[in-house]
Structures are given as structure tokens and as C-alpha cells.
Amino acid sequence: QTAKSTADLETLRVKYLGKKGEVTELLKGLGKMAPEERKAVGAAINELKNRIQNTLEESMRALALSE
């Protein structure tokens, strides 16, 4: 998905990282997993979360420079 404005980026941030976002829902599901699964899955979800945050921050900077 291509964001054309900071508002678009904020919409994406909320969709994935917000209180009811997709990544947040994945994190909430960790409690239902077996402890041995939880560690690996939790690490993968955190990596995904970090990648999304970094991408959003980079995109925000790029948009700020182009405006």
C-alpha cells in the first residue's frame, strides 16, 4: 500500500499497531500458546512490529522532505 500523505501513514499505523491493530491482536494471542511456541512466535511478531514502525518512520521522513 502506498501512502501519499502523513494522514495515510497514520491510518496504516493505527491499522497495524493501534490498540485494536492487527499486530496488537497477534500479541494478545500469545497468551493462548504453549510456552515453547510463545517465545519463537513472540520474537517473530516483535520483529514484524519493529519493521512496520521503522518503515512508517522512514516514510514519514520522506514525506516531510517532499512537502
Question: What does each of the 67 residues of the chain score in pLDDT, given as a tens digit?
Answer: 577 888 999 999 999 999 999 999 999 999 999 999 999 999 999 999 999 999 999 999 988 887 6
Q: For residues 57 and 35, is the Cβ–Cβ distance under 8 A?
A: no
- How many domains in the chain? 1
How confident is the model at residue 4, as a pLDDT? 84
Is 1 within the bounds of a domain?
A: no
Is 19 within the bounds of a domain?
A: yes
Largest Cα span, the chain = 48
CA distance 1 to 21: 16
State which residues form the domain around 22: 6-66
DSSP H or E segment with residue 23:
helix 22-28
CA distance 24 to 2: 22
> To 5 degrees, how large is the angle CA 56–CA 21–CA 8?
40
Is 36 within the bounds of a domain?
A: yes
DSSP H or E segment with residue 4:
none
